[in-house]
Amino acid sequence: MTNRTVLITGCSSGFGKLAVNTFRAGGWNVVATMRSPEKEAELTGLEGVLVTRLDVKDSQSIDAAFEQGAAAFGSIDAVVNNAGYGSNALFEQSPDASVRDIYETNVFGLMNVMRRALPDMRERGSGRIVNVTSMAGLMGLLGNSVYSSSKFAVEGLTEALALEYKPLGVRIVSVAPGAYLTTAFGANTDNYIESGDPQLVEHSQNVRDHFASIVSGGTPQDPQEVADKIYECVTADEVPVHNPVGADAERLSGLIDSLPSRQAFVDAMEQMLLPPAG
C-alpha cells in the first residue's frame, strides 16, 4: 500500500469511474467525487474509496469534498480534473446559456477545484494535478467549436501553471484523449445541430456528414487507455506537460509536431475536414 490519496472529479461514469478502479488497484485511496453520489452503486462501500458529492460549479461542495477526503485519508496528494462535457453544434447554433455552462464546467469549474487544491500542495511542496482536456484542445475542431475552445483554455492554463508551480514542487499536466465511446459524446453532450436558419442547419449537417465519412469504421478505442494514462501521469517520476492519449490523439499530436508551421497544420486540417464545395 502506498497510502497516497487522489481526488477525482466526475466519477459517475466514463474515464472518471475507470480511473477510480485503476488508482485503487495501484494501492491508492480515492476520493471519488460526483454530482449525485446517492445514485452510485458500484463504487460505494469499496475499501479505500470515499464516494462523495462534488459539483465543480459549487465551491461549497468542493470544500466539503476536500475536507471529507482529508478527514478519511489525510492529505490529498493528487487531483484529477476529469469532469466535463461538450456540445455538438456550430458556434452560431450554440445558445449563449450553453456556451456559458460549458465554460462554467470545463474551465471555471476546473479552476474552482485547482484553487482549493493548490494552497495545501504548495505548502507541502508536493502534489500532482492532471487536467483532462481533449484532442479538441490541440486542434480547432469544427462542429464542436465551443467545446474545443474550452479545452484549448485548459491546455493553456495547464502549460502556464506547470511553469508557475514547478519551482514550488507541484506538477500540473494535461491528458488529452482522442475519441472514446463514453457518455461524453452521447447523453452528456448538448446537441444543437438542428438549430438556426436553413443555411446553418445544412452547413452543420454537411460538416458532420463529412467528418463521419472520414472517421467511420475501425475498432472503438478502449477508454481504459485514458485511465491508465491518468494514473501514469500521477505516478511516474517524469511526465511531459501535454499527454495525448489514444491512437487518434497521438497521430494528431505527431502531425502538429512534424509540420513546419501551425498554418501548415491548419491547411492540412482544411484539406481533410472540410466537406467538398457543393
Ligand X SMILES: NC(=O)c1ccc[n+]([C@@H]2O[C@H](COP(=O)([O-])OP(=O)(O)OC[C@H]3O[C@@H](n4cnc5c(N)ncnc54)[C@H](OP(=O)(O)O)[C@@H]3O)[C@@H](O)[C@H]2O)c1
Catalytic residues: 147
Residues 40-69 that bind ligand X (CB under 6 A): 55-57
Nearer to ligand X, 83 or 114 (CB): 83
Residues 83-112 that bind ligand X (CB under 6 A): 83-86, 105, 109
Least spacing, CB of residue 106 vs ligand X, in Å: 6
Binding map of ligand X across residues 111-150, x = CB under 6 A, - = no contact: ---------------------x-x----------------
82 binds ligand X (CB under 6 A): yes
182 binds ligand X (CB under 6 A): yes
Backbone angles phi, psi at 242, to 5 degrees: -110, 130
Torsion 63-67-68-69 (CA) sign: positive
Least spacing, CB of residue 146 vs ligand X, in Å: 12
- The grid coordinates of residue 78 equal 493528487
Angstrom distance (rounded) from CA 126 to CA 143:
40
Nearer to ligand X, 7 or 200 (CB): 7
244 binds ligand X (CB under 6 A): no
Bridge partners for 34 per DSSP: 53
Torsion 121-160-250-205 (CA) sign: positive
- The grid coordinates of residue 105 equal 464546467
Task: Name the one range near ligand X by CB under 6 A: 6-14, 62-70, 194-202, 254-262.
Answer: 6-14
Least spacing, CB of residue 201 vs ligand X, in Å: 25
DSSP, residue by residue, 48-83: TEEEEE--TT-HHHHHHHHHHHHHHHSS--EEEE--
- The grid coordinates of residue 71 equal 478527514
Nearer to ligand X, 181 or 264 (CB): 181
10 binds ligand X (CB under 6 A): yes
Backbone angles phi, psi at 33, to 5 degrees: -100, 150
188 binds ligand X (CB under 6 A): yes
Candidates 14, 37, 69, 244: give the one binding ligand X (CB under 6 A): 14
Task: Name the one range near ligand X by CB under 6 A: 8-16, 72-80, 198-206, 236-244.
Answer: 8-16
Backbone angles phi, psi at 2, to 5 degrees: -85, -25
Please enumerate, as own/partner, the contacts of 148-151 that have beta carbons within 8 Å and a separation of 24 or more: 150/84, 150/86, 150/102, 150/103, 150/106, 150/107, 151/84, 151/106, 151/176
The residues binding ligand X (CB under 6 A) are: 9-10, 12-16, 34-36, 55-57, 82-86, 105, 109, 132, 134, 177, 179-180, 182-185, 188
